[in-house]
Amino acid sequence: MTTQEATTWIARLFQESVERLTPETPRDAVPAWDSLGELTLMADMDEKFGIVLTDNQLRAMTRVDDILQVLRNNGQITD
């Protein structure tokens, strides 16, 4: 998966337009990235990539690139 594809996945997850979301987009600018959105993120990460996010990882996520970084660290992003 490329960074662009991963960003598209995140945009769909949080019901955002792909054009509006970049790696630099802060969490505050994504309304659906609330505590319920976190659960959706955790479930999708587990289901699609087999990654179980920890409390610390979730707490440290402040922008879209933090999600991308977890995917990179787990070998899911190739570019």
Partner 1 sequence: MATTSTQPATIRGITSCVPARCFDNLKETLAFDKDEVEKVVRLAGVKTRHLAADSECSSDLCLAAARNVLGALAWPPESIDGLIMVTQSPDYFLPSTACLLHRDLKLADTCAAFDVGLGCSGYAYGLWLAAMMLQSPGFRRVLLLHGETPARFASQSDRAVALLFGDAGSATAIEAGNGDNGNRWWFNLHTDGSGYDHLIIEGGGFRDRFPEDPHKHSVRMKGRGIFNFTITRVPPLIEDTLAAAGISKEQVDYFIFHQSNLFIMRHLAKKCGLPEDRIPLTIGEFGSTGGPSVPLTIANGGLKRPAGRSLQLLLLAYGVGLSWGSALVDLPSSAILNHVQLPAAEAAVQREPHAVNAVGGTTV
Chain residues that interact with partner 1, rule: CB under 8 A: 35-36, 38-40, 42-43, 46-47, 52-55, 58-59
Nearest CB to partner 1, comparing residues 18 and 39: 39
- Shortest CB 4 distance to partner 1, Å: 27
Query: Which DSSP letter does residue 70 get?
Result: H
Burial environment of residue 20 by CB neighbours within 10 A (0 to 12, 13 to 18, 19 or more)? exposed
Nearest CB to partner 1, comparing residues 60 and 78: 60
Nearest CB to partner 1, comparing residues 3 and 49: 49
- DSSP for 28-68 reads GG-TT-SHHHHHHHHHHHHHHH-----HHHHHH--BHHHHH
- Shortest CB 34 distance to partner 1, Å: 9
